Chain A
């Protein structure tokens, strides 16, 4: 079964600290992996998109890694800010004949709270 599992479910850190969120997936065939940030009451905002050939991608203080062999990804947040408090969602896209499809499998997210 195609699944995306994220850990931890929730996390509390102090402002200025770093943290790493994990994503394991069993989606196959795989096309790409995305990380989204979703603020409370808002729609998700894309942070990174990685294909199977990419093993790291950065967006400011966010760095995503991908190990397609072990089917694991992580999102590292550096020097956290209060505004980083949100749900972080890992999403994996199914492939069809080597190309991307609209079949996206969403994880349930990691809820991050950054405290002053």
Chain B
């Protein structure tokens, strides 16, 4: 594909349910990032994958959040036992190799926890 894609574009769920968000980075990009954007807030770093290195999970807000990247391509962000404060836009980005390069963002998944 031409850019980073994310699915679903919108997700409404009930408090306590688990959700999975998917990110397809640009083909050939080895670096992948997940961010969270809450209303009126700046983007908040969640997790970073670089090639086969161990991911930087330092931004994950709690152990209810986890992410995987299979085969160095597609990534899924899982939120278990969702809470209302998890409601936000979850953005994925990729870059070719290094963190110093341009990041290309997907359109985001808008998550609403009722």
Interface residue ranges, A against B (CB under 8 Å): 4, 31-32, 41-46, 49, 89, 91, 93, 99-109
Contacts and interface: CB of A to CB of B under 8 A. Distances in A.
B83 interface: no
Contacts of A100: 98-100
B72 interface: no
B51 interface: no
Interface of B: 4, 31, 33, 40-45, 48, 50, 56, 91, 93, 98-100, 102-108
B45 A103 contact: yes
Contact of B103 (A4, A46, A101, A108): A46
Contacts of A42: 107-108
Contacts of A4: 42
Contacts of B99: 93, 100-102
B102 A49 contact: yes
A45 B43 contact: no
